[in-house]
Chain A
Amino acid sequence: MKSNVTFYSLIVCSLLGASCQKDNLDGPNATFYGELRDRKTGELIPQEVSDGSRVYYIEQGWANPPVQNTVIKSDGTFKNGMMFSGDYKIIMDRGNYVPLDTLDMNIHKGENFKVFEVNPYLRILEPEIVKKDRSIIATFKLEQVTSNQVYRISLFAHAHTDVSNKLNIVNKTLDLNRSITDGETFQLSINLDEYSSTLVAGNSYYFRIGAQSQGNETKYNYAASVKIDL
């Protein structure tokens, strides 16, 4: 009797094993990585650390395929190591740059590297952030790349180097809502006395200049963040 039980359970187990093999699908076999670069300067385009630009893509060959996406990291690079090889439509929009036309791309097995050259909505030129007396003063110029007006300019502060519109403890924003003239200089400042509990003397903080263009689904463009000891 006991041997019977063992025998039957062996059969059941082997059946279970057999049926599982057919259900197994091949896992992701491709890596898609690359960079978002300024078409004019060739530099990587920095991104918001959360809710920044993304690479959107749709895998072809399925009924009702969903739009998938990969976040572009704060330094302007992206990498998805869990892609399936195949034909894709790549959509580059909803970012801090002028959207590209939808691109057909074959992702093959193994590594796929792609540089997207784009025009950022705004370029922040000659950024300078200094501490003067009890103020942090940011000075910069802007290059307006499209005919869209400049929506707003900002100076952000946070303890983390990825300080930005969605990650800051102090936010000095000026709504412009106008086009700018060439060579126009902008200045934003934070009075440290107004933020004695958030920007504590003796600590270091990162400060960063950002600017956002008007238009459909734009995001902030950023200069590099600057570390300042208070």
Chain B
Amino acid sequence: MNTILYRLLCVAILSLSAGCTKILDIEPNDRVSPEDLFASKEGVEAQMANLYGRLPIEDFNYSPNRGFNIGVGNDVNNAGFMAAHFSDEAIHPEYNDFGEEWFDYWEDGYRLIRDINTLLQTVPQLANIDQAAKDKLSAEGYFLRAYTYFALAKRYGGVPLIESPQLYDGNINELKVPRNTEKETWDFILADCDRAIQGFGDAENGPRRADKWVALALQSRAALFAASIAKFSHQPYVSFSGPAVDQGLVGIETKFAETYYDQCIAASAALMKSGKFGLYQAEPATPEEAAENYRQFFQQPDQYLNGVREPIFIKSYASNTPLAHNYDVWFSPRQMVLDPNLYPGRMNPTLDFVDAFEDYTDDGTGKVKPLNTRTDGNEGDYNGFNLQTSYIAYPQDAPYQIAEGRDARLRAMILFPGETWNSTRIIIQGGLVKSNGSGFYYRTQASETGQDGQTYYTYGAASGTQYSGFDPTLGHYTRSGFLFKKFMQIDHPIEQAWSRSTQSWIDFRYGEILLNYAEAVVEKSSPSGEENQTAREALNSVRRRAAHTDQIALNQQNVRKERFVELAFENKRRWDLVRWRTFHKSFENRVRKGLVPFLDLRSNPAHYIFVRVNPLGIEAKTFDYLWYYKDIPGTSANGLIQNP
């Protein structure tokens, strides 16, 4: 019996192998050839959607601890970490993660580049589309490639520049391309932008796909990055050592900074002169109006795409698919999200950030105005509550008045204690001062009778679902004393569930271009009078949109402050600190600060006071200068020279 089976098996195997001899010549059924794919409009759309979808856009689904497109092919739960948590913009109420990105953007980047190179190689050979369509597709290819190399260069410095798809012919060593210098890498990115700009012509294709204007915006941003590397990667800012430095694979000679700043100025100026873009509601009548405009704009950017528009390039999402995002789940206040499977309240803007705004003194100096907490004006004390200290009293029903008179954007981005979310009053309170003045509670739930005979609680209410701050359980409650409003769906609440958020991400907007221009002019060595004038107008028009009425001077401090407050939470801040090479100096054993509202029962009616603190459980953080360049993965196999 067994022998018969074996024989049958042998025959079967032999016949199978006989049928397979031409296996290498068979066209695989699970692949589509480029000709077939690009034969139809739908095929082109599908391939371009694929490439755009994989583009390393630092959007709502980018997380420094997980990478790009979280939720696509992996778990959507990234613990609610965003780039803001890895900078001075925010702290996280549950975890202390910080530092350089925790993932490598290397293989994904080169896979995408390979597919883009294949596109660029295929398009000219296509028979069934006209030359104009070919030019547009190629231009998009150059844009996508520039964007991808930009993502590599800002992480790794000089990288191998691969301009056409590699072919494997049995010699593995031919596939190993050494690193180009950092200068060559940036030059290549800017040249790809130029190729894209040339290829597109003036036809509009935006804002969800690239056109000339999107390519110019990318060039503006990339040139500014390259210029900053050239200018600030030297003493006294920071310097590195090792073979990668000796061979120019990281760092650019200072003398090249000028060229890059000029390229940024030229690209930004082209956008500014195009007449197609402008700030949304550029001249509000009052700060209140400015705050509402700014908030609405980020809440629903898709509604502001007609006519002269601010968004230049946006990324949209689809609800209840892996292509949705989760900002509304992660960052709504605890009181708005009661589902035990969701984890709200994870974005806690820092007091450092809140203190970085101007008020409306508008005396032309642009100086920042930290919040007022004490009658003696000593705003440098982070020792916590003290019974002897004289604090400024804010009304029990309106503690948010502490933000009164501050820059409109602050109120548009930050939820202050006692403000309403849709129609719910959000309670953020971390302490309670006893009515007889004999003591206080701080971050332990307790109750106390006020002078009006009512019962008051440390966190502002008896139950954990009725307040949104400071309770150390669950990590649902803010530790900094602030919550987050930018981008959030407050006016039209969406279902509180995973993957429901679809507000578009603005990747490039006119406001950034204005500030790029201003920064390039400030940093270059001898700008012309006209450039100075335009840059000052650009800087002040961004402020004007926030209802400021004066003209502040064009200098490094003012430009950097304006970028901080205008572009906050748009995932730009970390890279600003990186390219200015100020990250390691501003984060040296630094604790990001918080502000605790205490309900003070010593008066009748009770009143709120605010106490500056080092938030409990928030560790001191250091940014190591060696993190400016990430380690290249797999150097023992790919033979690349490692970064410092």
Contact = CB atoms under 8 A, between A and B. Distances in A.
A189 interface: no
Contacts, number: 47
A55 B458 CA distance: 52
Contacts of A184: none
A94 B235 CA distance: 14
Given A64-B639, A194-B381, A216-B235, 11 more contacts: A51-B624, A63-B639, A64-B637, A67-B642, A167-B589, A177-B236, A194-B383, A216-B239, A216-B241, A217-B241, A217-B625
Nearest to B590: A171
B383 A171 contact: no
A64 B589 contact: no
B241 A51 contact: no
B124 interface: no
6 contacts: A64-B637, A65-B636, A165-B588, A167-B589, A198-B383, A214-B236
Given A94-B241, A216-B241, A64 B635 contact: yes
B636 A171 contact: no
A183 interface: no
Question: How many residues of A sit at the interface, in one of the four size bands?
Answer: 20 to 34
A99 B240 CA distance: 13
Interface size bucket, B side?
20 to 34
Contacts of A66: 635-636, 642
A contact face: mostly helix, strand, loop, or mixed: loop
Nearest to A196: B383
A194 B380 CA distance: 9
Between A99, A177, A214, A216, the greatest number of chain B beta carbons within 10 A of the residue's beta carbon is seen for A216
A56 B639 CA distance: 19
A195 B614 CA distance: 12
Contacts of A64: 635-637, 639
A132 to B, nearest CB: 21
Nearest to B238: A217
A76 B239 CA distance: 25
Q: Which 10 A-B pairs have the closest CB atoms?
A: A197-B383, A216-B239, A64-B636, A64-B639, A197-B384, A196-B383, A166-B589, A166-B622, A64-B635, A217-B241
A215 interface: yes
A215 B235 contact: yes
Contacts of A99: 241
A214 B642 contact: no
Contacts of A112: none
Contacts of B588: 165-166
Contacts of A94: 241
Interface in B598-644: 622, 624-625, 635-637, 639, 642
A72 to B, nearest CB: 16
Interface in B359-391: 381-384, 386
Interface string B577-593: 00000000000110000
Tell me if B's interface is mostly helix, strand, loop or mixed: loop
A51 B236 contact: no
Interface string A207-223: 00000001111000000
A51 B622 CA distance: 10
A216 B626 CA distance: 12
Nearest to B625: A217
A85 interface: no
Nearest to A94: B241
B227 to A, nearest CB: 22
Contacts of B236: 177, 214
A167 B239 CA distance: 23
Interface of B: 235-236, 239-241, 381-384, 386, 588-589, 622, 624-625, 635-637, 639, 642
Nearest to A177: B236
A215 B239 CA distance: 8
Nearest to B636: A64
Interface in A60-93: 62-67, 93
A63 B241 CA distance: 22
B241 A93 contact: yes
Nearest to A217: B241
Contacts of A196: 383, 386
Contacts of A167: 589
> Among the interface residues A51, A65, A99, A197, which one has the most CB atoms of the partner chain B within 10 A?
A197
A165 B383 contact: no
A62 B635 CA distance: 12
A62 B236 CA distance: 37
Interface string A108-141: 0000000000000000000000000000000000
Contacts of A65: 636
Contacts of B386: 196
Contacts of B384: 197
A165 B622 CA distance: 10
Contacts of B642: 66-67
Interface string A34-54: 000000000000000011000
A168 interface: yes
A171 B386 CA distance: 22
Nearest to B234: A216
A24 to B, nearest CB: 21
* Most chain A CB within a 10 A radius of its CB, from B383, B635, B636: B383
B584 to A, nearest CB: 10
B116 to A, nearest CB: 28
Contacts of B624: 51
B589 A165 contact: yes
Interface in A157-177: 165-168, 171, 177
A168 B589 contact: yes
A118 to B, nearest CB: 16
Contacts of B239: 216-217
Contact of A217 (B240, B635, B636, B637): B240
A171 B590 CA distance: 10
B96 to A, nearest CB: 15
A195 B386 CA distance: 12
Nearest to A199: B383
A51 B639 CA distance: 27
B413 to A, nearest CB: 30
A64 B622 CA distance: 31
A64 B642 CA distance: 10
A181 to B, nearest CB: 21
Contacts of A63: 636, 639
Interface in A184-201: 194-198
Nearest to A62: B636
Contacts of A166: 588-589, 622
A66 B243 CA distance: 12
A166 B584 CA distance: 12
A174 to B, nearest CB: 15
A50 B236 CA distance: 23
Contacts of A216: 235, 239-241
Nearest to A200: B383
Contacts of B382: 197
A64 B235 CA distance: 30
A197 B382 CA distance: 8
A93 B622 CA distance: 21
B598 to A, nearest CB: 15
Which of the listed residues B240, B589, B624, B639 has the most CB atoms from chain A within 10 Å of its own CB?
Answer: B589
Nearest to B386: A196
A168 B591 CA distance: 11
B390 to A, nearest CB: 16
Contacts of B383: 194-198
Contacts of B240: 216-217
